[in-house]
Structure 1
Amino acid sequence: MDRVTLLNRWQHGFPLESRPFARIGAALGVDEAAVIAGFEAARIDGSLSRIGGVWAAGAGGAALLVAMAVPSERLEAVAAQVDALPGVNHNYEREHRFNLWFVITGPDAATLHARLDALERDAGLATLRLPMRKVYRIDLGFDLRGLAGAEPARSERTRHAAPPVASSERALAALVESGVPLLAQPYAAWAEQLGTPEAEVLATIGRWLDRGTLRRFGVVVRHHELGFDRNAMTVFDLPDDEVDARGAALAAQPGVTLCYRRERAEGWPYNLYCMVHGREREAVRATIAAAARAAGIADRPHEVLFSTRRFKQQGGRYFSAAQEVQREHA
């Protein structure tokens, strides 16, 4: 069974039924056990992060993109301090004066700012704090057979915040966040753990998807392990009254995997961001240039920040981290 087909096809629309791996096997012409074994092999080799949910902004708490200008001789030490912070899920070195970029999540904005205040004191360095303001395209997966994001963008609701997860459903949210167990009946295993009917588990996940609380439910790949390790974040400075229209146009371009609006910060004038993931640096540059031209922003002030080192990469942990804290205090 072709691993790329297995990972590529179910980045969206992973079956919400009692035996999802049997449904996938029927589509591929193999049995259920072979599908489970294929996903397990991908998990072991690192190309599969998990099969689970990707939350919309605001579904379970707060998140910030943060940047730091770190002296090169201190970069590894400061990156380790960042990795140790609760809620950090992505941490990359990028080619820029602001060379360390990470995403931090938590229950609310005040908690995040307190953690970052402590980091600034400990590291003796300032942080750029860049909250999300609008999503145009994010975490939609990408085509593993060619250029990342080669498929046209799917319709994406540009929410400021998603309907949040109810407190009574946070235990299920923690499981969705952590990933589907590689069992013949994974949702039944969740239902048993939660003491609720399997049908209720499936209905709740479906409702989250319908309402936009979950952006997608499916295979989450690790793009570096699959060869997409020439990745660049491009930032643009646009007039505030243009950014939504230009952002929507940019998000629709082939090759753009993420696109969103963020607040500016002192010393950082940029408000529109996009990501392109690829295998070759020049191909990524060409994709960015073509997308910017198509969106009508190629002549606007912008910078391209290639990632050079990955210190940490995992899914955002809004709910599973809270469950761990609760267990520690129990």
Structure 2
Amino acid sequence: MNLHRVLGYAFVGIYVFLMWDMVPRLWSYQIELPARTVVHLTLGLTVGAILIIKIMVVRFFKHMESTLAPFLGTALLICTLLLTGLALPYAAREAFLRATAQDGQNFSSERIARVTTYLPQIGFTDEAGLAVLASSAGLAEGRDVLTRKCTQCHDLRTILVKPRTPQAWHSTVTRMATRSTTMNPISESEQWSVTAYLIAISPTLRQGVSERRVEIIETSASQNAVRQSGLQAPLTYDPAAAEDLFQAKCSQCHSPQLVEGAGLNNREDVVVLVTRMVGNGLTADDAELSQIMAYLTDRFAKAESQ
């Protein structure tokens, strides 16, 4: 009983500590809470309500303890397990990534030199502060501010959708700071810290945008090739080999059975379908695409027209 009592007090202490730390964070949100946060909050408040009821029963309604205590204890166990399963994996993953991630080339000497060059050009005049910002520790601090405070109103995709000039980054950060909450403001020093980090990662963002542009161009070229050659039957057609090819390629994204409900009535429908598949990431050369279209026409479109 003494052990049970000590564990109970420890549980209440941990709960009060966590709520003391987490409830003020609610004031930092300016938009509707994400679904996982809503579930987390609901479970946390439920645990608090159950704790209050259990303490009241144990202290003031002992005649009800034998009836309600098992039920309340089981409810606490279930809610605690749900809370732990909901929060602990994400917290552990974030802690692991934070401890092991070095940001690769974003923290390299070349990126640090980039920050050293461009910050003074956009109005940062503190030489001692520049040495701090243009360092691995300073860039890591900027990354932390970005992930903690710049996501009060939106996610990071809105911020990192494209590279910007150093001056444009600073203007963006300043504009975000004016919209930050009074409970969790972004100070001027934090603004410069975030700006330095964004200047450092701009080449990485630019590389990602360039790769995406190349991917779009290649996909568009593949789709045009499908449209141009789609209405021509292949020189040789092996139904069994074409079926194997279709099964292998199309099962990479979805079940091949989904094609049965695609409503293929003719060769043109097949071309449209395969063109869409190429746009969604299907990789195949012209000969393979020709075989796949011939198989779809023979297997589905012909059956529909009969």
**Structure with the largest fraction of strand:** 1
**Structure with the largest fraction of helix:** 2
- Normalising by structure 1, we get a TM-score of 0.19
- Normalising by structure 2, we get a TM-score of 0.20
Q: Greater CA radius of gyration, 1 or 2?
A: 2
